Amino acid sequence: MMKTNNVILETATKVIVFIILLFSVYMFFAGHYEPGGGFIGGLMASGAIVLLLIAYDIKTVTTILPFDFKKVTAVGLLFAAGTAAGGLLFDKPMLTHWFTYVNPPLLGKMSLHTAVLFDIGVFLVVVGVTMTIIQTIGESE
């Protein structure tokens, strides 16, 4: 079968994927003070990858993003478990979080919180699980 001519979709995808990824990162970092967080950010990031999968084929996407998404899930769980165990090292109950204010140059007063590390874990688990489900269903004949 001849390959269908998908110039409009492919060209638009090249621009739109970056907007979606940017918005997913925004959503991830907005999670503490505004609606957002690791779950919705991870779903949006995997939505961007699914758009790539629709516009191109599965082999092209695995060359663009050469990740084993099962390992991404594992790394995410490791982040979450590590943050949970972090409190134990400082003689506190498990899952104790801690924050501080720092004053880096240019950025001004920032509050850094260990809950972000836990959220990174959630983000990676959501991306890994979603992409594993979609890629295994897409590959099976």
Give me the residues that bind other proteins (CB under 8 A), please: 8-9, 12, 15-16, 19, 23
- In whole angstroms, how close is the CB of 55 to other proteins at the nearest point? 10
Least CB distance to other proteins at residue 113 (A) = 23
Closer by beta carbon to other proteins, 51 or else 74: 51
In the complex, minimum distance from the CB of residue 84 to other proteins, in angstroms, rounded to a whole number? 32
Name every residue whose Cβ is closer than 8 Å to that of residue 92 and which is 6 or more positions away in sequence: none
Q: Classify residue 51 as exposed, middle or buried by CB count within 10 Å of its CB (0-12, 13-18, 19+).
A: middle
CA 105 and chain centroid, separation: 28
At its nearest, how many Å lie between other proteins and the CB of residue 99?
26
- By beta-carbon proximity to other proteins, the closer residue of 16 and 129 is 16
* Choice between 12 and 88, CB closer to other proteins: 12
Q: Of the two residues 9 and 117, which places its CB atom closer to other proteins in the complex?
A: 9
Q: Of 15 and 106, which CB lies nearer to other proteins in the complex structure?
A: 15
How many Cα atoms within 13 Å fall on the side-chain side of residue 52? 23
φ/ψ (deg, to 5) at 100: -145, 160
**Exposed, middle or buried: residue 11 (CB in 10 Å: 0-12, 13-18, 19+)?**
exposed
Q: Are 119 and 82 in contact (CB under 8 A)?
A: no
CB of 38 to other proteins, least distance (A): 19
